[in-house]
Amino acid sequence: MDDQSSGSVRIEKLTASNFYIWKQKIELLLALRDVDQYVFDDISENATSDDRRKWIRGDAKAKAVIGLTLSDDYLQHVRGCSSAKETWEAILNVFERHTLLNKLSARRDFYTVSMLPSEKVLVFINRVKQLAARLQSMSVEIDDKEIAMAVLNGLPPRFDNLIVALDALGNEDKVFGLDFVKSRLLQEEQRESMKTASTTSPHAPALVNRMPIRRDMRCTNCNRHGHTTARCWGKDVNGRRPAPPDGFRSRNPGMKPSAFVSRDETSTAAFAESDFTCLLSTSSPEKKAVNAGSWLVDSGCSAHITFDRSLFVTYEEMQSGSVEMGTKARANVAGRGEVEFMLNVNGSPHPCKLSNVLHVPDFGYSLLSVSQIVSKGLQVSFEKDKCIVTAGPTVVATASQVGDLFILDVMNETFSAHVVTLQTLHERMAHVNVQGIASMIHNNVVSGINSDNHSLLCPACVFGKATRSVIPKQRSSSRAQNCLDLVHSDVCGPLEVQSIGGSRYFITFVDDHSNLVVVLEIFDHMLSSKPDR
């Protein structure tokens, strides 16, 4: 932290967990003190004696800046170093050795990093970027997309809804960039903090502890009011205190008073800040993962949409058609039809049929359009944890809130997969005749088929049972009496496979009297040539 009023710079000492942050700060501090050349450059061979004396003094200052920011454990590693550059290289050899063990450890830390319960999004992203910088220093290629995937992989379950929304966007190359993911995570964190603040604002703190303001105290070290020189934490590494003593609480009038707020609810502790700095206890139910087969109630969808082809009872393929999503991207519609499933209305099963449901294989989730429900004369109302669909006073469907989504309540098993058509049963029974199937339906041997309509036209049965008239064997009286009186000719081609001579056409000549057959090849240049006239 740079204090402009006192001219001091305070840097956290090097530990095993903050090397890359410490390295970046030290490089900035060396540049600020104008001694970075003693660490990264060498003295010129043609330097004069005065230049060498200046170099020795500057090198000692650079070495002191580095050494005074090391903890006692790492100060022992540079005890025998004679220059700032040697000290710097000794530290790099400890933390940036490109051994197999270090590479494995860096990869393990990067791909298994997870966000801490009380950690802010920006702090977590910076921690992931530090791990990526550690890998990049070992000549491992890590791009922004890989860093974004590591950030998403380490998020807690409260961000599952955001990940589902990102997955529904599609276009992975454009979406999964670090800047885009960071902006969406910061927006989600801000939304949650606003929700927490609105929830806790009506409650007053149970205990407020205000420290007395002492304006008469003045520190002779930093010239600030509210404390004495003995309790001043504004001292730098040249002999001043790096931090306030344990148990000391600032009496500076500019500091905010603290308050502890007690709640009856039980959950994790969240931090909120307004006029008071408060520790709040809130309760939030654990969010469950959304099943891919669930139906999501969507007020922004203009039609019912599903990706599962097996849910359709009737289906009609569509050669054209697309659905526009929130990112202006489009997904192709493969077909439409009717979907049947069993609703769970207050524990009782109720059959439901959806018409004009679009089949979009690339979508990934099933959406229930509120506008389509309302157009059927039904009413849709959203309450605190539930969505209710009614037809007058009768409740016809309900949806429970899971996280920030409303999931339609359905029974565990649907009966749409058990619908059997007459064509399906006909094919399963080796193309038995329709009268036989009608007899089985009449005798209750099979069930699930409408017994009123048994008309069926099977193309396989039509072609398989078709016959051809017999060719007459008696000699026709109209046959030619002499050879070459009547010759039949025909051309065949083009053939997919060429002959040995390279021809794809042939012509046949059949003499009507003797039945002599002559076959001749025809080449492409013969067909393209024009006869002379």
Lowest model confidence (mean pLDDT) among 13-22, 119-128, 466-475: 466-475
Give 259's pLDDT tier (boundaries 50, 70, 90).
very low
pLDDT band at 489 (very low <50, low <70, confident <90, very high): very high
What confidence category does residue 452 fall into, taking pLDDT thresholds of 50, 70 and 90?
A: low
User: Which pLDDT score, from 0 to 100, does residue 493 have?
Assistant: 84
**Cβ pair 7, 30 in contact under 8 A:** no
**Could you give phi then psi for residue 309, rounded to 5 degrees?**
-70, -30
pLDDT (average), residues 178-185:
84
Give the range among 37-51, 276-290, 319-333, 488-502 with minimum mean pLDDT.
Answer: 276-290
pLDDT score of 508: 94
pLDDT at 268 over 70: no
210-218 mean pLDDT: 56
Residues contacting 136, CB < 8 A, separation 6+: 142
Segment 206-216 mean pLDDT: 50
Q: What mean pLDDT is reported for the chain? A: 75
CA-based nearest residue to 215, from 253, 248, 158, 242: 253
Q: How confident is the model at residue 286 (pLDDT cuts 50, 70, 90)?
A: very low
Average pLDDT rounded to a whole number, residues 288-313: 79
Q: What is the mean pLDDT of residues 11-37?
A: 82
pLDDT of 420 > 60? The answer is yes
d(CA 381, CA 388): 5
**Residue 414: half-sphere exposure toward Cβ, Cα within 13 Å:** 19
Question: Tell me, what's the pLDDT at 453?
Answer: 58
Q: Which of 494, 486, 429, 492 is nearest to 456 (CA)?
A: 429
Does the pLDDT of residue 91 top 90, yes or no? no
Structure tokens at 442: 């009449």
Structure tokens at 443: 């005798």
pLDDT at 509 over 90: yes
Determine the average pLDDT of the residues in 254-276: 34
Phi-psi region of 447 (alpha: psi -120 to 50; beta: other; left: phi over 0): beta
Predicted confidence band at 463 (pLDDT cuts at 50, 70, 90)? confident
Is the confidence at residue 54, as pLDDT, over 50?
yes
Q: Which residues contact 243 (CB under 8 A, 6 or more apart)?
A: 233
Q: How far apart are CA 58 and CA 64, in angstroms?
A: 10
Whole-number pLDDT of residue 83? 87
Question: So what's the pLDDT on residue 340?
Answer: 84
pLDDT above 60 for 214: no
Q: Which residues pair with 426 in a beta bridge?
A: none
For residue 497, give every residue at least 6 positions away whose Cβ sits within 8 Å of its Cβ, in sequence order, or none: none
Q: How confident is the model at residue 254 (pLDDT cuts 50, 70, 90)?
A: very low
SS3 530: coil
Which two tokens mark 512?
């009507």
pLDDT digits (tens, 9 = 90+) for 360-369: 888 777 888 8
Strand order in the sheet with 487-492: 487-492, 505-511, 517-522
Sign of CA dihedral 145, 148, 150, 152: negative
Return the residue matching tokens 């009038």: 253
What is the per-residue DSSP string for 187-252?
HHHHHHHHHHHHHHTTSPPSEEE-PPP-TT-B-TTT--BSS-GGG-----TTTS-SSPPTT-----
Angstrom distances, CA of residue 138 to CA of 89, 92, 246, 417, 506: 15, 12, 39, 55, 71
Average pLDDT over residues 206-224: 60
Token pair 């960071």 is found at 182
> Phi/psi at 486 (nearest 5 deg)?
-140, 125
Please tell me which of 2-6, 244-248, 450-454, 508-512 the model is most confident about, judged by mean pLDDT: 508-512
- What is the mean predicted confidence (pLDDT) over 112-124? 87
Question: Residue 252: its pLDDT value, please?
Answer: 45
Model confidence at 314, pLDDT cuts 50, 70, 90, reads: confident
- Residue 225's DSSP bridge partners are 218
Q: Residues 230, 202: contact at Cβ < 8 Å?
A: no
Cα–Cα distance, 302 to 298 (Å, whole number): 9
What is d(CA 406, CA 387) in angstroms, rounded to the nearest whole number?
A: 7
The whole-number pLDDT of residue 517 equals 93
- Give Cα separations from 74 to 90, 92, 225 (angstroms): 10, 12, 37
pLDDT score at 363: 78
What is the C-alpha to C-alpha distance for residues 369 and 168, in angstroms, rounded to an integer? 16
Looking only at the bridges linking them, the beta strands covering 348-359 and 207-209 are: unpaired
Average pLDDT, stretch 77-95?
82
Cα–chain center distance at 375:
34
> Measured between alpha carbons, how far is 503 from 505 in angstroms, rounded to an integer?
6
| Confidence at residue 414, expressed as pLDDT on a 0 to 100 scale | 45
Q: Lowest-pLDDT range, 107-111, 241-245, 479-483? A: 241-245
510, pLDDT greater than 90: yes
Least confident of 132-141, 201-210, 447-456: 201-210
- Written as one string, the DSSP assignment of 14-45 is B-SS-HHHHHHHHHHHHHHTT-THHHHS---T
Other residues' Cβ atoms within 10 Å of the Cβ of residue 248: 11
Shortest CA distance to 335 belongs to which of 319, 324, 350? 319
Straight-line distance from the first to the last Cα atom of the chain, in angstroms, rounded to the nearest whole number = 102
Q: Is the pLDDT of residue 312 over 70?
A: yes
Q: What is the mean pLDDT of residues 211-239?
A: 63
- Asked if pLDDT for residue 416 goes beyond 50, the answer is no
DSSP string, 79-91: TT--SHHHHHHHH
* pLDDT: which is higher, 474 or 73: 73
Residues 419 and 340 sit within 8 Å (Cβ to Cβ): yes
Of residues 449 and 316, the one with the higher pLDDT is 316
